[in-house]
Amino acid sequence: METFVIAEAGANHDRNFDQALRLIDVASDAGANAVKFQTYSSETLYSKHTPDFAGYKNIPKLIKDIELPREWQKDLKQYCDELGIEFMSTPFDERAVDELVSLGVKRLKIAGFESTDWRFVDMVASTGLPLIISLGIGFKEEHLDMINAITRDYNNDITLLHCNNAYPTPNSDINLNTIPYLIKNTNCKIGLSDHTTSTLTPALAVAAGAKVIEKHYTLDRDLPGPDHPFALEPNELKEMIHNILITEDMMGTVKGEYSKSELNFIKARRSVVAKTNIKQGEELTINNITTKRPYLEGNIPASEWFKILGQVADKDYTEDEFICKK
C-alpha cells in the first residue's frame, strides 16, 4: 500500500490497558501502517475556567477522565514494535514532546486545534523529526507561509493533513477539493485527517492525491467516551483500507499505451475499407472508401483516414475489402 494509513486510537482506550492493546491488534490486523494515541494532561490543555461548549460539560474533568496514562507509552510502543506497526502519539504539551522523542518515535503529529499555535508548532518542529500537521479549525491560507517558515528553519519532512474538526464531519463539509489545492500550493506531502463516518471518504481523498490518511477507530461505537460515536469499528477499518487499496490500483499511471487488458480488443478498432469496387489507379475518395471494424495488422487504421484520401488504389479492391498499406 502506497498510502500511509494512521489508525487513530486517540482516547478510545478508556484508560484500560488491555483495551489499548486490543486497539493495536485491530489496527495491525486491518493493515494500517501506524496506530496513534494522544498524550496530554487536562491541566496543560484546558484552563480550569473553561466554559461548557459544543455540547460538552465540565470539559477539564472530561479530559482528565480520558487521559492516556503516560507510563503506558513505553509498553504500548514495545507491543507495536512486536507486531510490526508504528507507534505514534500526538503530543499536546512540552513534556509529551520530550517523552515521545525519548521513546524513539519516528515522527510527531500536531493536532488541528494546535496547528495555529505558533509557539507550540515551533517547539515541536525544533525536534527535527518529520511532522504531520492537521490544518484544522481556524486555519487560513496565510498560515501555510507561517508553517513553511517555521518548519523550514528546522529542515523537517512535513506532511499537511486537510482536516475538518467537527466530530463527526458532515459529508458536505469535508471539502476534498482542498487536497489538490494544497498539493499545488505547497511543497509538502498532503493527506487527510478524516472525521466523517464514511469508509469511502479516505479512498476518495487518495484519488484526489492524498498520501496519508488518519482515521479514528474504536472497538465498539457503543462504548462510553466522547470519541467512540464517530469512530470506525474494526470491520469498517478493514473496509476503509480495502477501499484505499482498490483506489490505488485503479489510479495507475497516466495512460499513454495500451493496457494489458486491452490487447485482445485492439481488433475492435476500425480500418479503412472499400465502400465499392475499386480499380487499380483509381483515386480514393469519400465515395469509394469508408471505415469499418475490425482493425487487423497490415490494414490502414481509421486514424489515417485523412492521409489516405486523394491517394490512388495500388490494386483492385472489392466492396468491403480492407485497404492495405503499400
What pLDDT is attached to residue 153? 81
Distances (CA, A) of 254 to 211, 238, 247, 250, 258: 18, 28, 15, 11, 11
Which residue spans of the chain are classified as CATH 3.20.20.70?
Answer: 4-251
Q: Has domain 4-251 been given CATH number 3.20.20.70?
A: yes
What pLDDT is attached to residue 136? 77
Say what the pTM is.
0.86
Q: Which residues contact 162 (CB under 8 A, 6 or more apart)?
A: 135, 175, 176, 178, 179, 182, 190, 191, 192, 193, 205, 210
H-state helical runs in the chain: 17-30, 42-45, 59-65, 73-83, 94-103, 118-125, 143-153, 178-185, 201-207, 234-251, 305-308
Low-confidence residues of the chain, pLDDT below 70? 46, 52-54, 56, 58-62, 65, 138-139, 255-256
| Distance, CA of 104 to CA of 99 (rounded, Å) | 9
Per-residue pLDDT of 82-128, as tens digits, reads 999 999 999 999 999 999 999 999 999 999 888 888 889 999 999 99
What pLDDT is attached to residue 145? 77
